[in-house]
Chains A and B, each alone.
Chain A
Amino acid sequence: MTWTLGDTYVVIIGAMSASACALLGNYLVLRKMSLMGDAISHAVLPGLVAAFLITNSRGVGAMFVGAVIVGLITAVFTQAISKFGRVEEGAAMGVVFTILFAGGLIMIRQQADHVDLDPQCVLFGNIETFYSDALIGTIPQAGVNLAVVLLLDALFVMLLYKQLKITTFDPGLATSVGIRADIMHYALMIMVALTAVASFEAVGSILVIAMLIVPAVAAHLLTDRLPVMILLSVTIACIAALAARVYNVYAPGVFGSGIQADTSAVMAVATGILLVGAIILAPERGLLSQALQRIRLALRIVQEDILGLLYRQSESRRTGSPTSEAEALLGNAVRGLVARWAVYRLRARRLVKVDHTGSGQVALALTDKGEARAARLVRSHRLWESYLAQHSDLPLDHLHMPAERVEHYISPEMVDRIREDLPEVDLDPHGREIPPPDAES
């Protein structure tokens, strides 16, 4: 199969409706009102049907008026039901939009003879028809509607950027600086209703819901700046539209024609895949970067543990005290793969050196730099034990493990503060010397 003008048309239509939804979706997601997008995009159906029945045509103006009225009704009823019915807003929304949507479907069935609306089209849209429109050389009315609505959404988000931002972040503050949070709320609802109607014919209500929420959620994972988040969400929406059509045009050639699917459905799946990608790859909040962070931390802890053990080893040799059991573990520990790597790193950082003993065996030893570093760790450890012993009634054998954990996280300032708290203590609760503060820079 080859790419035709019609395919370009479909991508443009898809990208326009997806972008329009994504723009507003940012604020729905940040306001924790994702379900409201769902509700309104369903609830506008009876408005559309009523407008159709009253004007007896598919006039654009009447459709929009009907949709906006029902969109507002949804928002108002939701508030009223959650207030008077004493249920949480999500439940109230669920009640309102399912009833309105069902009402719309009944109206279509009842008036099937008069209404030129197809429930199937409402759900899944009819994006493929734009394909033939393009080939005939006409510009479809639905495309024009979408372009106008996209422009309105863009103006809404740009011109009222401050108002949307402040009423989303802190409605109380907004009201106190004279920006009415309730008015912005209803303005957003009206724009969502408009966008849902304009997108219906092209991509259907299912995709509207997906595009209102998914690109914004993915974008939120990827950045912590609002303008960047808005741009990213639109980019993701456009990529999904393009990817869906590319898939539908070229995939059948590779995998056979059975693989082809409705373009708007593929678009929804594509945003889903992009979201999964964001969940895994996002900087800081992504699964991958968190896993890396944990691995880095684990490796640091192994290195520090080896330093601590070597310090204790040389200490017990110096003082002639019996070898502790932890120390005996060192021999085992350095055989593991992780420990080998840790030793390699420690040598590269010139904290540890390898001593060759006469009998051909090798032994690890601390360098001067390593000695200072290790002393600091052991100092943290023993001070923490002393601190716990002083301030809690833990038995002696309960002190080592918490200190073993804490020694890796405790900052020099905290060590100093413990020292101030325990000025007289020179030995830890087990009677071992607390290393003095070092001169390591």
Chain B
Amino acid sequence: MSTTGTKTSGDTNTVTDAAGSLSTHHDPRAPVSIHDMTVAYHRKPVLWDIDYAATEGRLVGIVGPNGAGKSTLIKASLDLIPKASGSVRIYGKPYKKQRKLVGYVPQRESIDWDFPASAVDVVTMGLYGRMSWWLPPRKHHKEQALHALEQVGMADLAHRQISKLSGGQQQRVFLARALVQDASIYFMDEPFAGVDAATESAIVALLNELKARGKTVLVVHHDLQTVREYFDDVLLLNMRVVACGPTKDVFTHENLQKTYGGKLTLLVEAAEAIARSVRGGP
């Protein structure tokens, strides 16, 4: 999985995994750069040796079959789940130091929508990082939140309880919240899943607006039909990076075959073997 230990040969170009030299793998200009990241659930690797660097100001689609590790890639990049190895840099620095530059839109199902809050409450939460630790939100915070809701066409539903919104409307609340975070990089986990046509076009308009403001947006996406239309770059993922780069070059029939078709049985088998031997099973 990783190059542990120091090579003793006379080769001066050898790079070790010593913490100090890690930064040499990362381009400080890249909004997101992932080096040799492996992620495991219960010791069973689900992402192998991911190397990836995003280009600033692009809309990136993360595409791959179910279980390819798309959400895992995002969560591990944001330290929401632990990495088995490897490192992630946000503009050349660890995520911990760059939190404010990063906005995150989780999957809609990951949230309990029965929570007693209105749409504007939820959007205001996106500003909590920039408020005083002890004081309640100020008037201008609320105004900012309302403005963001207006931008996603939700102004008249701002004070409705969130469980009384439709799926598409809930998704727009999340997007408004991402907007107020005013980050440089956005990670969005399946924002298009299960939304109506009006919301879908609202999301696309918003993505383009973010791009026009120079933001980098990484979007987990399921619908292969729209990839070409929506995204500048694409990252094809199936437990490892199959291909990445500009959509017109990378989103080819051949690469899709590699991503979705021929199962990488060896990767799966190796992962299971690792899980088995770590557990001490047969």
Contact = CB atoms under 8 A, between A and B. Distances in A.
A87 to B, nearest CB: 13
A173 B78 contact: no
A162 B103 contact: no
Interface in B229-271: none
B177 interface: yes
A176 B80 CA distance: 9
Interface string B69-83: 000000100111000
A172 B116 contact: no
A176 B118 CA distance: 21
A225 B116 contact: yes
Given A172-B75, A229-B116, 20 more contacts: A30-B112, A162-B136, A162-B137, A163-B128, A168-B115, A169-B112, A169-B115, A169-B122, A169-B125, A170-B111, A172-B104, A173-B104, A175-B80, A176-B78, A178-B99, A178-B100, A178-B129, A224-B117, A225-B117, A226-B117
Contacts of B110: 170, 172
Interface string A152-165: 00000001011101
A168 B114 CA distance: 12
Contacts of B106: 170, 172-173
Given A162-B136, A169-B125, A224-B161, A176 B115 contact: no
Contacts of A86: 42
Interface residues of B, number: 34
Interface in B77-115: 78-80, 99-100, 102-104, 106, 110-112, 115
Nearest to B100: A178
Interface in B55-81: 75, 78-80
Contacts of B128: 162-163, 166, 174, 177, 179
A220 B129 contact: no
Nearest to A86: B42
Interface of A: 30, 32, 86, 159, 161-163, 165-166, 168-170, 172-179, 220, 223-226, 228-229
A225 B164 CA distance: 13
Contacts of B102: 176
Nearest to B137: A162
B180 to A, nearest CB: 11
Contacts of B121: 226
Given A172-B106, A177-B99, A224-B161, A165 B129 contact: no
B181 interface: yes
Contacts of A223: 116
Pick the most buried of A32, A159, A162, A220: most chain B CB atoms within 10 A of its CB. Answer: A162
Nearest to A223: B116
Given A169-B125, A172-B78, A172-B106, A177 B181 contact: yes
19 contacts: A30-B112, A30-B116, A162-B128, A162-B131, A166-B128, A170-B106, A170-B111, A172-B78, A172-B110, A173-B106, A173-B126, A174-B128, A176-B103, A176-B129, A177-B100, A177-B125, A225-B116, A226-B115, A228-B116
Contact of A175 (B78, B103, B131, B181): B78
Contacts of A220: 116
Contacts of B75: 172
A32 B112 contact: yes
A175 B128 CA distance: 11
Contacts of B117: 165, 169, 224-226
Contacts of A161: 136
A217 to B, nearest CB: 12
Contacts of B42: 86
B91 to A, nearest CB: 16
A430 B193 CA distance: 40
Contacts of B99: 176-178
Contacts of A162: 125, 128, 131, 136-137
Contact of B177 (A163, A173, A226): A173
A32 B104 CA distance: 23
A23 B100 CA distance: 31
A30 B114 CA distance: 9
A302 to B, nearest CB: 28
Nearest to A228: B116
A169 B173 CA distance: 14
Given A30-B115, A176-B99, A225-B118, A166 B79 contact: no
Contacts of A173: 104, 106, 125-126, 177
Contacts of A179: 128-129
Nearest to A226: B116
A169 B128 CA distance: 13
Contacts of B136: 161-162
Interface string B163-176: 10000000000000
Pick the most buried of A32, A168, A225, A229: most chain B CB atoms within 10 A of its CB. Answer: A225
A220 B116 CA distance: 7
B229 to A, nearest CB: 25
Given A162-B136, A170-B106, A177 B115 contact: no
